[in-house]
Amino acid sequence: METPPDDILAACLGSRVILWEPSSNRQLKEFFRLGCWPRVRLNDGRADPCGSLWVGSMRNNVASDGSSTEAGGKDGVLYRLDPDGAVTEHRTGIGTSNTVAWSPDRRHFYFGDSLANIVWKYDYHPDTGSISDGKPFLENFPRGSPDGSAVDAEGYLWNCRFGGACIVRVAPNGTIDCIIEMPVRNITNCTFGGHGRQTLYVTTAVAEKPKERLAGGLFALRIENQGQPENRFYAFTLPARF
């Protein structure tokens, strides 16, 4: 399988997944479109070890003018978008899809529902790209709700806590290893980069009340642990669909 180019990104928008070239701001192709937009929108996503893109959805809580509306319900779906264009629904009835991550040995997949305050751990089958036997992994943690996550090279999950002002590092057996305090409340996602992949890049969101000076900022945390490289989505070779 040909390696995807470094200058093309898969971007998950409110209703679509597109391939985008940042240097020219060109939308190269549309890869996926939600049929239930604008009632439902896309949320967290990530490529798997086999080159497919997994993305979850949720009830749309953003109005057309950009203001916030009420989230809720169980409209979310977990999709797998394969390089050949096939789309598979792996889970339905989700409140807010968040956390899409894999263990370094490719044996496990992590997926969460922010509204239910839970992250599940599934068996992942790289031969078929499917998941099975999901069990609660991080449930009812008292600080905030689970947003995005990344897994380091030792197999520990780093879960960002929306409303909890922290990131929690969880061991493969589900025990809490440590809590990283953050200077804002809404911690949204993270990934590893930098020299030796020992910088944790963390995104945050603005809270309506109270106002926080650093909210919405991108943070870089130098850590002792080493992260995994991100997987790549192989759909760039497909013909344009529009």
- Which positions are annotated as active-site residues? 147
Q: What order do you get walking across the sheet with 87-94 strand by strand?
A: 40-47, 53-59, 76-81, 87-94
- Return the SS3 of 237: helix
d(CA 59, CA 97): 10
d(CA 183, CA 27): 35
Contact 202, 194 (CB under 8 A): no
Q: Which of 17, 5, 26 is nearest to 241 (CA)?
A: 17
Task: Supply 189's token pair.
Answer: 């996602």
Burial class (CB in 10 A: 0-12, 13-18, 19+), 196: exposed
